[in-house]
Amino acid sequence: MARFACALFALMLAALGSNAPARAQSYPSKNITIVVSIGAGTGMDVLVRVYAERLSAALGRPVVVENKPGAATMLAAAQVATSPADGHTLVVLTSAAMGINQALYKQINYSPENDFVPISLYVKSPFILVANPNLPFKTVPEFINHAKIANPPLKYATVGAGALQHLSMEFAKQRFNFDAIHVPYRQTGQSVTDLAAGHVDVGFVEAGASIPLIKEGRLRALAVSASQRLPLLPDVPPFSEAASAPDFEAVSWHILLAPAKTPKDIVDRLHAEMKKIMAAPDMKEKASNIGLIPIDTPSVAGMNDYMKAERVKWGSLVEKLGLKGSQ
């Protein structure tokens, strides 16, 4: 009897083991949808549509891009968190949804830790530290020294409390012990206009919004918030390099995710295909040309570790600033 039970158990294990290759071979069985958490025509959307075509070719099924902006990217996150975990519905989210919102909002209807499995962390989206060109500093050390003695304090522009541009400057203020007054705006365009006009002094601004004015000489670029140089501004140093602070980085990032219980063989296949797609030189060039920094995706475990570290970094800063649950 015991021998029969052991044999039956072995057959069950074999059956379970043989299910993974069969499942991998049958995937995908229908169209794949990638839900993009911000609007059509944005840098994120443009890049997703390019790699969606290549993913479709690799998998042999159409890959459809669906834009679902709203609620600080949380609409898209909530939709895919409760989608079937079969690899046919994916979502592209950023550091806001996966690293900040949990601390900033009183309630969110998804769990960054438990509802997703990462597929590919493929670009960083840095900010440019810019200043009005009439101010008497041209480098990061000069900016920090000036900010420490400025009376009244320098004013810095953002798109609102808790936004990553705001947290980036507060992160710098705490790290380098200087003061500056926060001036929030409703829209990036207005903040950049006021920076160029001298109504505010400095700010961390998205590359797409700031580079045209930098090229025209209406804004002065001091540093890039990523630890790497931005291909579109190769002469502008990373903040970490300029300030001799290797640990300093304040960036958004784009990550492709699936619902948490998606089978490992499907996750591994998608991860491998995306790694191959994003490693292509022309894909890196496309990402660079829209103000992003292409990166070689970490492993699934590495992505989880990175997101955990980001949640700790930004969550603790949100709490220190008294913004926990403020929205």
Model confidence pLDDT, tens digit, residues 273-322: 999 999 999 999 999 999 999 999 999 999 999 999 999 999 999 999 99
The CATH number assigned to the domain holding 142 equals 3.40.190.10
Cα distances (angstroms) measured from residue 109 to each of 73, 74, 116, 137, 166: 12, 8, 13, 45, 24
> How many domains does the chain divide into?
2
pLDDT confidence of residue 72: 84
DSSP 5-62: HHHHHHHHHHHHHHHHHHHHHH---S-EEEEESS-TTSHHHHHHHHHHHHHHHHHTS-
What does the pLDDT look like over 150-180, one tens digit per residue?
999 999 999 999 999 999 999 999 999 999 9
Number of Cβ within a 10 Å radius of residue 23: 16
Domain boundary among 216, 242, 268: 242
274 — phi, psi (to 5°)?
Answer: -65, -35
Q: Does 257 lie in the same domain as 116?
A: yes
Q: Does 170 lie in the same domain as 64?
A: no
What does the pLDDT look like over 215-244, one tens digit per residue?
999 999 999 999 999 999 999 999 999 999
DSSP 179-201: -EEEEE-S-HHHHHHHHHHTSS-
The CATH number assigned to the domain holding 44 equals 3.40.190.150
> Among 171, 158, 303, which residue's Cα sits nearest to residue 248?
171
Q: Does 121 lie in the same domain as 132?
A: no
User: Residue 60: inside a domain, yes or no?
Assistant: yes
